[in-house]
Amino acid sequence: MAMGSQPAQFEEQVRVVANGGRWLVSCHSPGAAPGGANHGVNAWCVTAAGDVVLVSGDGEHWGWPGGRPEGTETWDQTLNREIAEEVCATVRSARCLGFTRSQCLDGPEAGLVLVRSIWRAQVEMRKWRPEFEIRDRKTVSPDELDSFLWMEPGFEPLYERWLREAGLRRT
């Protein structure tokens, strides 16, 4: 990710290509979630030392943890479970930064509208015992994120918005 990318503005629609289709993706402030299906959470997990936790399923591509709800889980229940499963950490405090709304324009998921809640979570790391799809974790300083954080092309303005909202990016 290029340092200093322009962040997406709230409710600005960013065009991206993902999962075999074209999507309009927008960031929304915290409060009421925008319309769409609950598609889970993503969180910038921050340790007591101020480092950011990244996870990987393949040891090459490093991203922020997150996942989909199970059953009737609330946003914060999904957050706590996913962080426990993917990061092997306990959420000590969390703040919802807002929501990402994704609308598929064409392709195999045309018409689908998905909403994710986005968080900054203070976490307490536990012993690393990967049990699910995540194979590796690492902690990096906020200044090192650009060297490790992977994302699909086109998502840079969205990530930049959430990094700034989380206080992990100098403006």
Task: Check: CB of residue 10 under 8 Å from CB of residue 21.
Answer: no
DSSP 119: E
Task: Check: CB of residue 1 under 8 Å from CB of residue 77.
Answer: no
Higher pLDDT, 4 or 94: 94
pLDDT grade, residue 126 (50/70/90)? very high
Instruction: Please tell me the total count of domains within the chain.
Output: 1
Q: What is the pTM of this model?
A: 0.94
Domain-located, residue 2: no
- HSE-CB of 67 using CA atoms within 13 angstroms: 20
- HSE-CB of 96 using CA atoms within 13 angstroms: 21
Nearest residue to 1 (alpha-carbon basis) of 86, 74, 87, 64: 64
What does the mean pLDDT of the chain come to? 94
What is the domain range of residue 110? 14-165
Domain-located, residue 71: yes
Quick one: pLDDT at residue 171?
Answer: 62
pLDDT tens across 22-72, in order? Answer: 999 999 999 899 999 999 999 999 999 999 999 999 999 999 999 999 999
138-165 mean pLDDT? 95
Q: Where are the alpha helices (DSSP H) in the chain?
A: 75-87, 145-148, 156-165
Domain-located, residue 147: yes
Measured CA distances, 8 to 28, 29, 142, 165 (Å): 10, 12, 19, 11
Percent of the chain with pLDDT over 90: 91
Domain-located, residue 3: no
